[in-house]
Each structure stands twice: as C-alpha cells, then as structure tokens.
Chain A
Amino acid sequence: MITFDDVTAVYPGQPHPALHRINAEIEKGEFVFLIGSSGSGKSTFMRLIRREQRPSYGKVYVAGKDLSTLRQWKVPEFRRQIGTVFQDFRLLPGKTVFENVAFAMQVLGKRTSEIKREVPDVLELVGLTGLEDRRPDEMSGGEQQRVAIARAIINRPKILLADEPTGNLDPNTSVGIMRLLDRINRRGTTVVMATHDSTVVDQMRRRVIELIHGQMVRDQQHGVYGAE
C-alpha cells in the first residue's frame, strides 16, 4: 500500500536531511506506529505519503501510484484515498458535529441524500450518536478527536494517517481513541500513526518504525516504544 524506496528528503538551508535513505513497505490493512522524537522526520514521512512534498531522492509509492511522477492536477483525486487526523483536531468551530463531518463530503460534491445517509453511520461508528448538533467548543478533547476521525474516514479512504492523535488527550481518553483506530483498522483501512505516546504503543503491540535524525533505526513487528 505504501512503499518508500531509498527516500531522502532535504529542506533548503538545512544541513541535515529530514529523512535519509528510508526503505519501508507498509502492506494493505497494516497498523504501523511511527515513533521518534521531535525533528526525527515523522511529519516529513507523513507529508510524503500525502504528496504534500516530493522526495529529494528516491521514490514514494502509495496505493499503486508513483508520487514522484503524479501530476499536480491528479493530487486531489489521489488524496481522496487518504484520511488524516491531527493532534489539534482541526475542526471548524462554527459548524456542528454533523456539519464538520458532512463538510468532507460536500467539498467532494457528494449529494445531500448521500450525506444524510452516511454521516449518522460514521458518527455511530465513532460513538458520537446523539451529539450531532453540538459545536466543537461544547465537547471534550476526546469527543473532538472522534469528530476528526469521523471526518477523516467518511469518504472511506484506504489509508488513515494519524499525526499524534492522542497528544492532547488524557490516558483514559487515549485508550478510547486507540480502540476506535483499531476498529477502523480491522475494517481494512491501513493506519499509520505518528506518536510520542509510549503507553499506547506498548499496549497495542503493532509494527513500530522508529526514526532518529531522519534515519530509520528500527522496523519491528509487534514492537514497543523503547527497543527491547
């Protein structure tokens, strides 16, 4: 589903590459933790998957597409296969839960009837049934992250990228979010999650890719946060 083939990413003016000669293959339906300290290259890794930037060297393949040669006008269509969740939720404050989730369908030109059918289903999946009319500022952090996850998966992406999704949440709420991501993964969605949260990594025991200063130092099945 995702292949990094000897990928190096260099930012102009930076002495060291953000990513250096990364080789990794993530299969369809996998759940992968991307761990490493700030500045280790996790965000660049995610940005390359979303085709927000191109590698300086090497190639990135996502969902069968070589992103180095993907034309700019085809990028939006490509991104429909990827859902993204952030640490800061990025919800629209003036819109209700329903409207926030529906927005992701509206901007793809989906019909109102389809939106009215699909949004309640996905809100049920993320456990927000009954909260459709709330606004983000009336909700807890965990609930807001569930809205963000609902928005990320409403268009049924093949890949879900989660960038520190539990970073702003307390441990109990984080467990709930991880259960939700696990449930989404079990439905066939490939999940790549960048995190600092050792607890969730240790509890989940999924594949771990560790980056240090842009180098991949570990790629371990059923790994934990600190090397065993």
Chain B
Amino acid sequence: MRHILSETWSGLVRNRAMAFSVMVTMWVSLSLFGISVLVAEQVDALQSRWYGKIEISIFLCTELSSGLGVGNCEPGQATTPAQKELVRNRLEANPDVSEVIYESQQERYEAFLETYKDSPIQDTITVDNIQDAFRVKLKNPENYEGVLAEAKTLPGVQNVSDVHQILDPLFSALNALVWGARGLAALLIFAAAVQISNTIKLSAFTRRKELGIMRLVGASSGYITLPFVLESLVSAIGAIIFSGLTVAALMQFVIIDKAKPSIQTLEWIGWGSAWTAILWIAVAGVALGTIPPLLSTRRYLNV
C-alpha cells in the first residue's frame, strides 16, 4: 500500500499542472451542478408556498351581472339558492377538493373594506357590487385543472379565478432555468471526464516503462490501476471541497445576506437545501473521480 501511495504522490507531483487543471474544471462543473440543485430547491420552495396558498375562488352571479364575462349567469338574475347548493354539492363531491367555504356578499364586502380602508375606491363600491363566492381548498394544489373545468360549467357561476394561468408560465420559465443549469453542468462534467481521461492517457505514456515492467512481472490490474484512480480521486476531493465552499458562500452571501432581507415576501431556501446540494456535489464528484479513470485505465493501461 505504501508503494501505491508513493506512486500516487509522485504521479501528482509529476503531473501537477494537469491535476490542477482537472481540479479546476471539476470545481466549476460541480459548482454549477450544486447551483442547479439549489435553484431547483428554490423553485420547489416557491411552488409549494404559492401553490399551497392558492385557493380556487368561484364567483357567483349578482343581479348586476350583465354584458361581457357573465359566465353562466342569467342577465339581471343572481345565483339562486338551488344553484348555490348544486355548486357546493358538485365541488364537495370532487375527489381533488379538500374543503369548500362559502363567503356571502356581506362577508366579502367587509373584507374588501378592510383591504382598501385608506383608498377612495371604497366609496364607489357598494355591497351589491360584490359577488358572493365559494373558496375551494385542494388536496393537492397542482391538481387544479379538473376542479376549474368543472366549476366553469356550473349554472350560476360567473367566473372562476385561475391564478395558475399567471404562475404556470413563471414556473415553466424557472424550471427551464433549472434544466438549463443541469444541462450545462452535465456538459461541464462530461468535459471534466474527458480531461481526466486525457490526463490518464498522458500519465500512462509518461510511465509506460514502469507500467510495462509491472505487467511483465505480474502486478495485478488493481495494483496498476489504483495510483491513477487515486490521483484522479485526489483532484475530485479538492474539487468537492471547493465546490462545497462555493455553494456555501452563495448561500450565505447571496441568499441569506442579500436576497432574504430584500424580498421577505418570498419563500427562500435554507441551509438544509445547501447541504442537499453539497451532498449531491460529493456524490457526483466521487463518481467523476472514479468512473472515468477506471474506464480510461482499462483502455490505456491495457490491464
């Protein structure tokens, strides 16, 4: 074992420039990979917070409902008690719905007054202008489409609030960002793997005499391969440490120190997410430090 370690060390010293460049490539690619994990976690946090808060609001008809956008209202006619009962029953029967709450015109008018208590708009709106509504809580906020579609067809429903139409494109864009970062990270990881493979090729060429003698005297494949794998693993461990520090610095200086105090209304990821990212970096780094060298040594060392 001492001989393997000394071979590893002399290999690292001999190829220090290559080992350094491999480590830097791995550092950048693993950092980007870690950042893509963080961004994915952030998108998840936003999604679960926003979608978790979303209730579907089903606005009912008033006597003033007329003209465009009346939905299923009869002009000049408010939703009848029978229609309200039907809407409630249908909503409660839907398997995706967890709770249905009815808010009367008066309750909603009071809420309106509370929201706009300092605004002159108060004077222009009377209780008759406000619709009564059902607020629907979903079991899984992502399964909203069935409930929306059904509610829109029910008689006495003027309109259904559909916040997903606004949020979905936003989250699609964020998810595209996540996949973009992942794709770039994968590309860089591939580049790092190719670089490791090339380094081993060069290193094997430099040590061809030793390797030839090792093969002749019957050194085992493991013995011949191990110094190369260990060299690569040393670079990988260095890259894992630096990438971990990069992610931790990003967490502390960008998210905790800057983003969180600036935009307090948003749900921000915490150190738990950073540790998840660092764990993934470690897994990817160890895989990157062992799999390409194992494949390359088989190819270039002829073991």
Contacts and interface: CB of A to CB of B under 8 A. Distances in A.
Interface of A: 50, 73, 76-84, 90, 92, 103-104, 106-109, 112, 151, 155
Interface string B1-39: 011000000000000000000000000000000000000
Contacts of B80: none
15 contacts: A73-B221, A80-B218, A84-B216, A90-B209, A92-B209, A104-B213, A104-B217, A106-B3, A107-B217, A107-B219, A107-B224, A108-B219, A109-B3, A151-B213, A151-B217
B210 A155 contact: no
A147 to B, nearest CB: 12
Contact of A107 (B2, B3, B209): B3
Contacts of A104: 213, 217
A103 B4 CA distance: 12
Contacts of B221: 73, 76
- Size bin of chain B's contact surface: 10 to 19
A92 B220 contact: no
A151 B220 CA distance: 17
A68 B210 CA distance: 27
Given A107-B3, A108-B218, 15 more contacts: A50-B216, A73-B221, A77-B218, A77-B220, A81-B218, A92-B213, A103-B210, A103-B213, A107-B214, A107-B219, A107-B223, A107-B224, A109-B3, A155-B217, A155-B218
Contacts of A81: 218
B213 A76 contact: no
A84 B216 CA distance: 7
Nearest to A85: B216
B183 interface: no
B212 interface: yes
Contacts of A76: 215, 218-221
Nearest to A104: B217
Contacts of B223: 107-109
B213 A79 contact: no
A75 to B, nearest CB: 8
A108 B217 contact: yes
B228 to A, nearest CB: 14
A92 B210 contact: yes
B124 to A, nearest CB: 87
A50 B209 CA distance: 17
Contacts of A155: 217-218
Contacts of B2: 112
Nearest to A148: B213
Given A106-B3, A107-B223, A109-B223, A79 B215 contact: yes
| Residue of A50, A81, A104, A151 contacting most chain B CB atoms (<10 Å) | A104
Nearest to B214: A107
